[in-house]
Amino acid sequence: MRTRSLIIALLASAATFAACGDATNPDDLHRVMGGELASCLWIDPPYGVSYQSYRNPGTTFSATLNGADKAQVAPHSGPDHWYAGYESQSDHILDASNTDVGGKTLDFWSWWFIEEGWDYGFVEAQVGGEWQTVPLTDVASNQVVTTNANPQGNNTEGNGLTGTSGGEYFVDEPEYLHLRATLPAGTTDVRFRYSTDAAYLDTGWFVDDVAVGGTPATVSSPEGNWISTTGEQDNNWSLQIIAPCDLNGASTANETTDDAGNHVYRFDGDAITTPVLDGKCAGKTGIVTVVSNLPTGDLQFLDAPYTYALTSNPR
């Protein structure tokens, strides 16, 4: 489940701008609106929420939710790897600062799930004070994995990395690949640059075990760009049951009422089993259940598996 949503603003100036973010976060709204007033603002439901309605849940019923405690993009080796971040309309830099590396081989391991044809990862060499992209080859298959195709105008430099590492975009799970590039003669510096457009984001780009000429490279990134991380996401699950009537009798445990007078029952945790609830009063109007995940940690947008069930008239 993903927690981001698409925010679209029609500004008073008649300009339209969109971004992937959190509509409850003032910083994300400011990024969309740029200090202007909006004539209209649209958001889609956050990816981290799933709704299910039941016309007749049963005379009695209970619900269960079991969600993964963590999700992770695991490093290729060691406890950490470098992650390019999750930010629209940005160019995040990871520098592998070296001198006199022209003609040498750059080796690294890479995992990517990048919006195909829209966002790109680049490896760039500085030659004569100018940055230029270099093609990348998968060592195992000896196939070039970068592309010069430029369907949306975002790969004008060429040699862009996009789509899914080791498979077909949105079909196969990404995997770590050993990539290699030959640095041009006269190269004095090497960097990784992750370039994103103004809207949708996929998970992004991870890099590990960088070496130049067979020697491990020292890599660094400006604040707010790439981060060194375990790649873990801590999941925080909740199950809510919304009904027009009281399902729990005299007990008020886990129960509140909303502004419309609905009874809302909220349960939090990775393994939830609700008490048996009385569904007789909901037989005509039904109930709605809401499963949500609000992750924390360096990564907060990985898909996280869960199982959910509602059982009518449990014994």
Give the pLDDT score at 2.
40
Angstrom distances, CA of residue 130 to CA of 104, 123, 184: 18, 13, 12
Cβ atoms of 45 and 293 within 8 Å: the answer is no
DSSP string, 139-161: TTTTEE--B---TTS--TTS-BB
Q: What is the pLDDT of residues 281-306, one digit of tens each?
A: 887 789 999 999 999 999 998 999 99
Give the pLDDT score at 3.
41
Q: What is the pLDDT of residues 165-202, one digit of tens each?
A: 999 999 999 999 999 999 999 999 999 999 999 888 99
Cβ neighbour number for residue 68 with a 10 Å cutoff:
17
- The structural domains of the chain, ordered by start, are 5-42 (no CATH), 49-71+234-312 (no CATH), 74-230 (2.60.120)
DSSP string, 180-195: EEEPPTTEEEEEEEEE
Cα 78 to Cα 214: distance, rounded to the nearest angstrom: 18
Closest CA relative to residue 278, chosen from 268, 292, 265: 265
Cβ atoms of 143 and 137 within 8 Å: the answer is yes
* Percent of the chain's residues with pLDDT above 90: 74
Give the pLDDT score at 35.
67
Q: How many CA atoms lie within 13 A of 234 on its CB side?
A: 4
Q: What is the pLDDT of residues 221-237, one digit of tens each?
A: 999 999 999 999 999 99
Give the pLDDT score at 189.
94
Cα 252 to Cα 249: distance, rounded to the nearest angstrom: 8
Cα 118 to Cα 200: distance, rounded to the nearest angstrom: 9
Range scoring the smallest mean pLDDT among 71-80, 136-145, 278-287: 278-287
Q: What is the pLDDT of residues 51-70, one digit of tens each?
A: 899 999 999 999 999 999 99
Cβ atoms of 173 and 165 within 8 Å: the answer is no
Joined together, the tokens standing for residue 19 give: 């971004």
- 88 versus 16: which is more confidently predicted? 88
Cβ atoms of 18 and 7 within 8 Å: the answer is yes
Joined together, the tokens standing for residue 303 give: 């898909």
- 99 versus 71: which is more confidently predicted? 71
b/e map 2-25, b = 16+ CB within 10 Å: bbbbbbbbebeeeeebbbbbbbee
Q: What is the pLDDT of residues 83-96, one digit of tens each?
A: 999 999 999 999 99
pLDDT band at 252 (very low <50, low <70, confident <90, very high): confident
Q: What is the pLDDT of residues 122-135, one digit of tens each?
A: 999 999 999 999 99
The residues, ordered by sequence, that sit 6+ positions from 280 with a Cβ below 8 Å of its Cβ are: 59
First vs last C-alpha separation in the chain: 31
Place of tokens 């990024």: 31
In degrees and rounded to multiples of 5, residue 174 shows phi and psi of -65, 155
Give the pLDDT score at 57.
93
Cα 119 to Cα 196: distance, rounded to the nearest angstrom: 5
DSSP string, 16-39: EEEEEE-TT-HHHHHHHHTTPPEE
